[in-house]
Structure 1
Amino acid sequence: MPPPDPGTVVSAAEPPGRGPVLEVLLVFLRLGLTSFGGPVAHLGYFRTEFVERRRWLDDKSYGDLVALCQFLPGPASSQVGMALGLKRAGWAGALAAWLGFTLPSAIALMLFAHGVAEWSALASSGAVHGLKVVAVAVVAQAVWGMAKALCPDRLRAGIAIAAALVVIAAPTSAGQITAIVLGGLVGRWALRLAHLSPATHQDDGVGRRRGALLLALFVALLIVLPALAAAQTSPWLGAVAVFYQAGALVFGGGHVVLPLLQAGVVPPGWVSNDAFLAGYGAAQAVPGPLFTFAAYLGAAMPAPLGGWAGGLALLVVIFVPAFLLVAGALPFWEAMRQRDGVRRAMGGINAAVVGVLGAALYDPVWTSAIHSRADFGLALAAFGLLVHARMSPVLVVAIAAAAGWLMAL
């Protein structure tokens, strides 16, 4: 029997693993080229495409999948995409979904990194300064939205403030991890949340034994890679450890990868702080996941890192934890989400993440970009366009780059 046409509506009752891999790749490639607006918008695009149009799954199943990926560390929209590919066409489907959704943005950012490296004047131009200023507005918007969603009570607001103070006092990756762990401990023992009702069992095509192996591999790499990097002098091994750790510890959204990566790549001199923030600003103007910022950083690094090889390699590394977690957690999710202690700990972790990102808003984002009243005015205007006018981030980035160029004349 021939495979269905990519545009064919498929029955929701069709079991996972029946769709062709090429269908998954083409659908996610189109989404990767057109899905502007960040992770929340991505989840809306996915629901329209896979629940309403193609009927790969129903609303309840999609909602449960989104809840899992928001519970786990990592880029939620990318993890939802990987899980949809896994359900639809097995392990090859998960890879196809990731490639289609990620590569368009990654290639655009690597081209930008090559442009900055090829034309040194570009890195110090007014347009690039505008990208650094718009990063202030983007991170401020992320802190604003996350604080309202993740710190709805005094306890979690206090956890966020304490986490910010910890990171300000210890502005390293160790300080950030410490703040997140302490937030989880406080949440576990002090937070009170309503108990969830039981969920019906779903077969996701991943057995518990295989899921446990994937989760064990996730933890092993998180421990072994930093240890190997500390024992060796290889820049490649050091970069792999930094990017894997960043991908494994991002709770609360893609913007949280900013402080983790900045603490890992700027102090060793792999990427200058100005180039880092310029790339972060440019990452707001591309569709697809914000984690593709890793491709820019990899391409911008000096030899023996850098170039297309460095960009693609570190792009893969930062997404590996996301895949291991979502595929490994799928068979355990129904039991895990019922544990009140786990949910309370996650509530504390998410609140601490708000504080970590708030500290990053000050240093390095604000301190590196805002040098004059004009800079502050541009950042404030960009924030207003994003939050109150609800303008597309792509347009806001273009406006800020043009304004930065005009201010430099």
Structure 2
Amino acid sequence: MTDATPETPDGRPGEVFAAFLKLGLTSFGGPIAHLGYFREAFVTRRGWLSDSAYADLVALCQFLPGPASSQVGFAIGLMRAGPWGAVAAFAAFTLPSALLLIAFAAGAAALDGPVGQGAISGLKIVAVAIVAQAVLGMAKSLCPDRERAGIAVLAVALLAALPGPLAMVGAILAGGLAGLALGRGAPSELDGRLPVPITPRVGAICLAAFLALLLVLPLLAGFGAGVALFDSFYRAGALVFGGGHVVLPLLEAEMVRGGQVSADAFLAGYGAAQAVPGPLFTFAAYLGAVASGLGGALVALLAIFLPGFLLLLGALPFWDAFRRRARAQSLLQGANAAVVGILGAALYDPVFTAGVGDMADFALALACFVLLVAWKMPSWAVVLVGAAGGVGLALV
């Protein structure tokens, strides 16, 4: 392997932090909306990237496991101001929602009585509508034909037979292999190249670090609660294909079935995460705070983002060549179809089974779903409607 001369960034971390802090405070709507905000802010308004370079970067981050919008933001910061620019972009975009969710975790225990419990119940019901909308949208885009719809159904069947995080990994691998067999992919037609400020050698080191942590952390989990918590969130972040909502079943398997967080607290926090701006992965900060306080929130937040960033740094120097291969596109198509099945299974258990207890709960969940899908109401507003509805049902 020979090192190419990396691009030299010409920006400052301070300007990156200021630009991303505004987005971290105002970017509602999930990862697809975030990508739209980024394009307007950094391609159209500031001119930090060309349209072709931005499209190339988005394609890479959608291909890799991890939080796509946060990976795009991290890469924009890296290209603009080097490693400190990447850190600045991550911190500014992530901290506002993380701090809000940590505050919610600290105050959730005080929500007692019919009003507080009704609000918690409403948040759990809202989660049903949010995940159902995600499944519907992802199915339309990632399972547009009968073959990929079949892969999604087979993924659900596999999870029904063998529940747990290992089955999720198996379903994704099986979906990727099925995609290769179908061979529907085509080479990328994107032109241009990314202005990558790192060398292939650094990329290879990051890929090695990603794999080493994935293999070694489970062996070290017995050395303390902090290491075990880091392992749980690192593994979840390493296996997420298809966007933030897909982390739900992985975190539920690690935290709820692992006994660190109750199912009610899990779903209440997931509902609250829909009402804050920024990346959905900051839900990890809430879970870490519930499990182990402020220190747990910090550990969880860093651990869930780290694998996606290591993979991004590892892939950036090699992406231009790899993305043009048809077999790579076929693999991704099959894996993404399996992801739809995994999220569909999570919609039933734990989201629906824990959130909907009777017909009144179901009516509220259905109303929230219609507000999201038919009325196009923003998710944070639907969260407020669901919480108010939960309080109303508790007082009736």
Q: Partner of 1:116 in structure 2?
A: 108
Q: Which residue of 2 aligns with 1:312?
A: 298
- How big is the shift at 1:194? 2.5
Q: Which amino acid aligns with 1:300?
A: V
CA distance in 1, matches of 2:263, 2:64: 29
Matches within 5 A, 1:39-188: 39-121=31-113, 125-188=117-180
**Which residue, out of 283, 306, 328, partners 1:293?**
283
Identity of aligned residues (%): 58
Q: Choose from 261, 265, 273 the match for 1:271.
A: 261
Residues 170, 124 of structure 1: alpha-carbon distance in 2 compared, 3 angstrom cutoff: farther
In structure 2, what is the equivalent of residue 9 of structure 1?
Answer: none
Separation in 2 of the partners of 1:272 and 1:207?
Answer: 44
1:116 and 1:123 in contact (8 A); partners too: no
Unpaired segments ≥5 residues, structure 1: 1-14
Equivalent residues in 2 for 1:237-276, closer than 5 Å: 237-276=227-266
Q: Which amino acid aligns with 1:379?
A: A
The yes-or-no answer on 1:357 pairing with 2:347 is: no
1:346 aligns with 2:332: yes
- Work out the CA distance in 1 between the residues paired with 2:271 and 2:295: 23
- Residue identity in the other structure for 1:189: A
Matched-pair contact (CA < 8 Å) for 2:125–2:356: yes
Greater shift after overlay, 145-154 or 334-343? 334-343
Structure 2 counterpart of 1:383, from 345, 353, 369: 369
Which has the larger displacement, 176-185 or 364-373?
Answer: 176-185
Whether contact under 8 Å (1:102, 1:288) holds in the other structure is yes
2: CA distance, partners of 1:124 / 1:363: 24
Check whether the contact 2:24–2:277 (CA below 8 A) recurs between aligned residues. Answer: yes
Candidates 17, 22, 28, aligned match of 1:25:
17
Contact 1:212-1:328 within 8 A present in 2 as well: yes
Encode CA deviations 1:81-136: one digit per residue, 9 max, x unaligned. Answer: 00000000000000000000000000000000000134455896101100000000
Residue 220 (structure 1) shift: 1.3
TM-score for the superposition, normalised by structure 2: 0.95
CA distance in 2, matches of 1:190, 1:234: 45
TM-aligned CA distance change 1:203 to 1:50, over 3 Å: closer
State how far apart, in whole Å, the 2-side matches of 1:123 and 1:200 are. 56
Paired residues of 1:191 and 1:348 also in contact (CA < 8 A) = no
- 1:393 is aligned to 379
Paired residues of 1:199 and 1:334 also in contact (CA < 8 A): no
Of 299, 305, 321, the match for 1:335: 321
SS in 1 for 2:109: helix
Distance, in Å, in 1 between the alignment partners of 2:368 and 2:138 is 18
**Which of residues 274, 288, 291 is equivalent to 1:284?**
274
Deviation sequence 1:146-169 (CA, Å, 0-9, x none):
001001111111110000111122
- Provide the TM-score with structure 1 as the length reference: 0.92
AA in 1 matched with 2:325: R
1-structure distance, mates of 2:272, 2:190:
43
Match of 2:4 in 1: none
What's the Cα RMSD here? 1.4
Alpha-carbon distance in 1 for matches of 2:119, 2:208: 45
Matched position secondary structure for 2:152: helix
Match of 1:3 in 2: none
Structure 1 position 225, deviation (Å) = 1.1
2:212 maps to 1:223: no
Deviations 1:20-53 (A, max 9, x none): 1111011111110000111111111111111111
Quote the Cα distance in structure 2 between the aligned partners of 1:203 and 1:54.
16
Q: Is the CA contact 1:283–1:290 (under 8 Å) kept in the aligned structure 2? A: yes
User: Residue 56 of structure 1: SS of its match in structure 2?
Assistant: coil
Residue 3 of structure 2: aligned partner: none
Partner of 1:7: none
